[in-house]
A and B are shown apart, each in its own frame.
Chain A
Amino acid sequence: MQCPENSRGVSNRSSERRFHLEIVVFTVMLWCAGLLISHPAGANCVQDDLERMVCIGPSVSRIVSFAPSLTEIVFALGHGDHLVGRSNFCDYPAEATRVPIVGSYTRPALERVIALKPDLVLTTKDAAQKGLVVKLEGLGIPVFVSRTLKMDEIFDLVKRIGRLLGDEDVAMALVEDLQKRRSAVKNRLKGVGKPTALLVVGLKPLFVAGGQSFVGSVLREAKCVNIAEDVILDYPKYSIEEVIRRDPDIILVLNKECSSHESCFGPWKRYPSLSAVKSGRVYKVNADSLARPGPRIIDGLEALADILHPNESASHPTGGRPVTTRRR
């Protein structure tokens, strides 16, 4: 009794398979047709960091940004007046603070975003949960998701957002300017000795920037050896023992952790064997320009290069823009 049923099963399965294939082909065709319909001529399309194609119409006028770095890019590209919504952390440039807030960095309120009727939402992968992105897409709102893991990727990010906003020329000019300043730093640091350094993102308890983190890539660019380079996590809670053993020449503390030089330096005095304590090389650095993957990263890089290589900073050709210390 079983054999015939089995053979019938097989033939059924193969015809099913053919049927599945037809469905797949049909779906692909529909999808292609859909792409053609929904992307009329003149639309700007770019790939975001989740490898999705994001397309918007030629005249973008209502942008919502969930992340400070993306807000800064929008302003740097001259589209600040098109920004209609931002996160509570988007505080630069000063004009940005006049834009209504749609929620906190990690918790944008969907309702408020929809009410603003944006024709583009910009977010980082960390800032928006996947569900939120899917919902916005379902409502026909294009969402560009960025994920910047290394300093190099900022230039491409600026270019892509420029293309999306229909201002590729402005973006190219901005990137060129940033690249120029970057190579100026690179040139003056050519052949310098690399001091060892530790970048502290949390003082009590101790959280540091690892080699995989975005800030870690800026440290490499500024020619120093991050003593936490080999840690797998981005910003791990780090053992003070290992800091004492690896004994960094320089300790950098993000300014969100301490307001005065004294409060940045004070906690380290407990460990007098540290070279950075002996030589007084504990510095406060600007969190906003170092940790935000936006156009100000070159400010951060220049400031970092001045701290790490004070002897090379005198011959600095562009003079280096002063980094204003601002609290996040």
Chain B
Amino acid sequence: MQITVLTKTLLVSIGLAIVMVLVGVISICVGTSLVDLRSLLGLGSSSKEAQQAFIIITEYRLPRTLLAAITGGGLASAGVVFQGVLRNPLADPYIVGISAGGALGAVIAIVFMGEGNLVGTSLAAFVGSLVAVAVVYGLASLKRGGQFTNTIILAGVIVAAFMNSIMLLIMSVSGSDEVQRILFWLLGDFSLADYSRIRLGAVFVMIGWIAIYLNANSLNVLIAGDRAATSLGLNVVVSQTYLMAVAALITGAVVSVAGTVGFVGLVVPHAMRLMFGPDNRVLLPAALFGGAAFLAAADCVARVVAYPVELPVGVITAIAGAPFFLYLLVRR
């Protein structure tokens, strides 16, 4: 019996949402002793340990896990869009230069504004990523034609390389002693999560994701090729621009609040495609929940594996994600 797309979407979404919630709960509880939990549940008690555990969970682990989940969901969804629109398996949310632009903005803010000015760093990263996307898209639009997607990819790579070298230039000329801070930003770090960042990230990811999901069918058609899409009545230029613009906004927003976390936007879409098939109507919710679960888990590992020393989350996403992805690749 053939199950309908809607049923499959619901099943996959509910299943992965349960996984995501489980990962979140485990992540929030890891490191807490049973005593802490018990004293937490007996909320009336005002013992010092209970108060400490309460603050650790509400002020540290919960915001951190939420931000990781939002970032993971956003990056994986954006990855689905870029891989689909550009019809390239190596595409990821950073392919149009967002990570390089965001990193350049963040490094400028860290080096010249100093003192860990977080609002400035986020804003500069967001502006930087938008500038990068605008330049790449502007360049590609100049030569619109059959080679559009290839031009985007090449322009993205070149603009990213250019912005990366400007970033390295600033780092080496300024003689800044903020190298460690910059490194953690580049590899992604959720230890600074607070509820205002979460709100910002959540708004962008939710609205953006819905805007993409409503056009999941156009994305399906785009994958068939420009000519096929046109003959099916789709305005290719408008659809491509719209989808990429929304995905870029999502990516820019999560990069500005969490840094350039790598690997999630490339691997989670592929993993979901290998598990649940290429239909974007199923793939988009799968990437949202799967990406959220994956990054929340990776962040939990980064937080506890060398406790009390914390690792950058980007290290964990690659170390844990690569073997899993290779397994999926070989199994098929």
- A244/B116 contact (C-beta < 8 A), A88-B175, A202-B181 known: no
- B52:A245 contact, CB within 8 angstroms: yes
- Counting chain B residues whose Cβ lies within 8 A of the other chain, the interface size class is 20 to 34
- B56:A257 contact, CB within 8 angstroms: no
- B180:A105 contact, CB within 8 angstroms: no
B31 at interface, CB cutoff 8 A: yes
- In the complex formed, the residue of A with least CB distance to B51 is A273
- A236:B309 contact, CB within 8 angstroms: yes
A263 at interface, CB cutoff 8 A: yes
Cα of A151 to Cα of B60 in the assembled complex, Å: 35
A residues 211-247 near B (Cβ < 8 Å) are 228, 231-233, 235-242, 244-245, 247
Give the 6 A-B CB pairs with smallest separation, nearest first. A104-B175, A204-B116, A242-B308, A236-B309, A239-B308, A273-B51
Cα of A138 to Cα of B203 in the assembled complex, Å: 61
- B59:A271 contact, CB within 8 angstroms: yes
B7 at interface, CB cutoff 8 A: no
Which residues of B have CB within 8 Å of A148?
A: none
Binds A, one of B79-87, B129-137, B184-192: B184-192
Interface bits A276-289 vs B (CB < 8 Å: 1, else 0): 00000000000000
A326 at interface, CB cutoff 8 A: no
- A107/B175 contact (C-beta < 8 A), A237-B309, A258-B115 known: yes
B38 at interface, CB cutoff 8 A: no
Which residues of A have CB within 8 Å of B52?
A: 244-245, 247, 273
- B59:A270 contact, CB within 8 angstroms: yes
- B308:A241 contact, CB within 8 angstroms: yes
- In the complex formed, the residue of B with least CB distance to A106 is B175
Cα of A107 to Cα of B60 in the assembled complex, Å: 37
Which residues of B have CB within 8 Å of A245?
A: 52, 56
- A107:B51 contact, CB within 8 angstroms: no
- B172:A107 contact, CB within 8 angstroms: yes
B224 at interface, CB cutoff 8 A: no
- A271/B118 contact (C-beta < 8 A), A204-B192, A205-B189, A240-B60 known: no
Which residues of B have CB within 8 Å of A206?
A: 191
22 pairs of residues in contact across A and B, judged by CB atoms under 8 Å: A89-B175, A104-B174, A105-B175, A106-B175, A203-B115, A204-B118, A205-B184, A206-B191, A231-B308, A232-B309, A236-B308, A236-B309, A237-B309, A239-B307, A239-B308, A239-B309, A240-B191, A241-B31, A241-B61, A263-B115, A270-B59, A273-B48
Q: Number of A residues contacting the other chain (C-beta, 8 Å)?
A: 39
Cα of A204 to Cα of B194 in the assembled complex, Å: 12
Which residues of B have CB within 8 Å of A231?
A: 308-309
Cα of A107 to Cα of B116 in the assembled complex, Å: 23
- A259:B115 contact, CB within 8 angstroms: yes
Given contacts A231-B308, A237-B191, A273-B48, 14 further A-B contacts (CB under 8 A): A107-B175, A205-B181, A237-B184, A237-B309, A239-B303, A241-B56, A241-B308, A242-B308, A244-B56, A244-B60, A245-B52, A247-B52, A256-B114, A270-B194
A328 at interface, CB cutoff 8 A: yes
A272 at interface, CB cutoff 8 A: yes
B residues 6-35 near A (Cβ < 8 Å) are 31
Enumerate chain B interface residues (CB-CB to A < 8 A). 31, 48, 51-52, 55-56, 59-61, 114-116, 118, 172, 174-175, 177, 180-181, 184, 189, 191-192, 194, 303, 307-311
Which residues of A have CB within 8 Å of B311?
A: 237
- A241:B60 contact, CB within 8 angstroms: yes
Query: What distance in Å separates the Cβ of A232 from its nearest Cβ neighbour in chain B?
Result: 8
- Interface-central residue, B55, B172, B189, by most chain A CB under 10 Å: B55
Which residues of A have CB within 8 Å of B31?
A: 241
- A205:B191 contact, CB within 8 angstroms: yes
- In the complex formed, the residue of B with least CB distance to A259 is B115
- A202/B180 contact (C-beta < 8 A), A106-B175, A231-B308, A238-B309 known: yes
Cα of A69 to Cα of B194 in the assembled complex, Å: 38
- A237:B175 contact, CB within 8 angstroms: no
A103 at interface, CB cutoff 8 A: yes
Query: What distance in Å separates the Cβ of A227 from its nearest Cβ neighbour in chain B?
Result: 9
A residues 100-144 near B (Cβ < 8 Å) are 103-107
Cα of A328 to Cα of B176 in the assembled complex, Å: 11
Which residues of A have CB within 8 Å of B48?
A: 273
Which of A107, A202, A238, A272 sits near B308, CB closer than 8 Å? A238
A207 at interface, CB cutoff 8 A: yes
Which residues of A have CB within 8 Å of B308?
A: 228, 231, 236, 238-239, 241-242
Query: What distance in Å separates the Cβ of A207 from its nearest Cβ neighbour in chain B?
Result: 6
Cα of A96 to Cα of B192 in the assembled complex, Å: 38
Query: What distance in Å separates the Cβ of B229 from its nearest Cβ neighbour in chain A?
Result: 45
- In the complex formed, the residue of A with least CB distance to B179 is A106
Query: What distance in Å separates the Cβ of B61 from its nearest Cβ neighbour in chain A?
Result: 8
- In the complex formed, the residue of A with least CB distance to B58 is A270
Which residues of A have CB within 8 Å of B189?
A: 205
- A238:B56 contact, CB within 8 angstroms: no
Query: What distance in Å separates the Cβ of A263 from its nearest Cβ neighbour in chain B?
Result: 7
Query: What distance in Å separates the Cβ of B196 from its nearest Cβ neighbour in chain A?
Result: 12
Which residues of B have CB within 8 Å of A103?
A: 175
Which residues of B have CB within 8 Å of A204?
A: 116, 118, 181, 192
- In the complex formed, the residue of A with least CB distance to B173 is A104
- In the complex formed, the residue of B with least CB distance to A104 is B175
- A105/B307 contact (C-beta < 8 A), A205-B191, A244-B55, A259-B115 known: no
Query: What distance in Å separates the Cβ of B146 from its nearest Cβ neighbour in chain A?
Result: 47
- A202/B310 contact (C-beta < 8 A), A103-B175, A239-B303, A247-B52 known: no
Query: What distance in Å separates the Cβ of B302 from its nearest Cβ neighbour in chain A?
Result: 10
A residues 46-78 near B (Cβ < 8 Å) are none
- B115:A271 contact, CB within 8 angstroms: no
Which residues of A have CB within 8 Å of B55?
A: 244, 271-273
Which residues of B have CB within 8 Å of A238?
A: 308-310
Cα of A214 to Cα of B3 in the assembled complex, Å: 66
Cα of A257 to Cα of B191 in the assembled complex, Å: 17
